[in-house]
Chain A
């Protein structure tokens, strides 16, 4: 049983460049989430997909951020024109559909972004 997989694990980019992160959720999970975590803080919700539909976006997700899940399987998170304030760990997570039994959200190892 494979967990949530994220790629790349680390990315260093120059300010103004675009970056893209990929997430492969647990295979039977149709809900997928992106969170952002900065140093000394807990993860903050960015966006959520059920299958291919993006159902919610946080106000943290500025118009430079875009997330897709084209076939309801893997997802990408793109950040355009990166800024130093975007430096953070970007966490992907997945869970089964529905809230019955409080379905647990499982996280990947994260993708570290450093903008220089």
Chain B
């Protein structure tokens, strides 16, 4: 069975500073990794994904994430935070094949607050 850990319930960062939201995962086989963002009372919006290839993936709104296989991590980053980035961020994983390859397993989420 796969699992995702987001060790920080909340991350506070000043506007204009770089931000990092942490994620570690456990999965059998090769992982497909995803980040989603959720604004209050809304559904999840896809930000980016890692499938294979370059360990640094770029996504929407200037976000990027770095896949580290040895540390089983997939941290979300942005060079310069905006107040509008304040939201709930979810990391998710699924295996590339086999049982469970059709379903995402999510972490509990990290609330990002960007302070003006």
Do A106 and B46 contact each other (CB < 8 Å), given the known contacts A41-B108, A42-B108? Answer: yes
Q: Give the residue of A4, A48, A91, A110 whose beta carbon is less than 8 angstroms from that of B103.
A: A48
Which range holds the interface residue count of chain A?
20 to 34
Whether A42 lies near B106 (C-beta < 8 A) is yes
Whether B107 lies near A42 (C-beta < 8 A) is yes
A94–B83 CA distance with the chains assembled, in angstroms = 30
Stretch at the interface among A61-69, A70-78, A97-105: A97-105
Q: How does the 8 Å CB contact mask read for B3-42 relative to A, with 1 for contact and 0 for none?
A: 0100000000000000000000000000010101000011
Whether B102 lies near A31 (C-beta < 8 A) is yes
Interface residues of B (CB under 8 A from A): 4, 32, 34, 36, 41-46, 49-51, 90, 92, 94, 96-97, 101-109
